[in-house]
Amino acid sequence: MKFTIYGSGCAKCKQLTTNAEEAAKALGLDYEVEKVTDVNDIIDAGIMRTPALAVDGEVAVEGKVASADDIKKLLG
């Protein structure tokens, strides 16, 4: 499973990364994390609001920091 975190690298982006990792670990999933910080790449991905989380290329969360529990529900 691949998580892509879109954002500038701010505290909210880091929290979203932590929450996604927590969710994957809780579910026993193998995962990798990619961080996209380049504004043009974020726009090219169709992201209008950061932070955003894509799971295996599909945007799952945009414009907010989802909790680990919320992300577990998306993954489960």
Is 74 contained in some domain? Answer: no
CA distance 10 to 75: 24
Q: Is 71 helix (H, G, I), strand (E, B) or coil?
A: helix
Q: Distance from first CA to last CA of the chain, Å, rounded?
A: 12
Q: Which of 5, 7, 13, 17 is catalytic?
A: 13
Provide the pLDDT for residue 42.
97
Is 16 contained in some domain? Answer: yes
Is 10 part of the annotated catalytic residue set? Answer: yes
Provide the pLDDT for residue 76.
81
Contact 62, 72 (CB under 8 A): no
Predicted TM-score (pTM) of this structure: 0.94
Q: Which of 1, 10, 11, 39 is catalytic?
A: 10
Is 51 part of the annotated catalytic residue set? Answer: no
Segment-wise mean pLDDT, segments of 10 residues, the chain, 76 residues: 96 97 97 97 96 97 97 93
Q: Is 33 helix (H, G, I), strand (E, B) or coil?
A: strand
Domain total in the chain: 1
Domain housing 10? 2-66
Provide the pLDDT for residue 35.
97
Is 19 contained in some domain? Answer: yes
